[in-house]
Structure 1
């Protein structure tokens, strides 16, 4: 009986630890999603304010 109680206590601790990890990862994912969104908005703004210029990805390198 004591062996089962020890196993249950160990498994309960592992579940709590994993739950903490998942919660922390969810927070990090949310933060990263906000950052990506801001970067996409900045890129769109920069591209829109660039006017008729060629997008940087389509320009020839300076050594051509």
Structure 2
């Protein structure tokens, strides 16, 4: 294998790796956006659950019965 052939092969591999890194970066970026969205939704659901719990707190008895 000549030096020129080796250089061409290395450049080809480098180009392929650059494309792969870019694709992986796109996937990671999309996943981060999805994680951020899920975290916002979870926070909103937790707030709603807490609001409901506060509204019905007098009626909810979380203490175990005396025989426990």
Indicate the TM-score class for this superposition, using the shorter chain for normalisation: 0.7 to 0.9
TM-score by length of 1: 0.81
5+ residue gaps, structure 2 = 1-6, 63-68
- Following TM superposition, the consecutive aligned residue runs of length 4 or more in structure 1 with deviations greater than 4 angstroms are none
2:56 is matched with which residue?
Answer: 50
Q: Which has the greater radius of gyration?
A: 2
Please give the alpha-carbon distance, in whole angstroms, between the structure 2 residues aligned to 1:35 and 1:54: 26
Question: How many corresponding residue pairs?
Answer: 56
Select the structure with the greater relative contact order (CA < 8 A; seq sep ≥ 6). 1
Report the RMSD for the aligned CA atoms in angstroms.
Answer: 1.2
Q: What is the TM-score with the length of structure 2 in the denominator?
A: 0.77
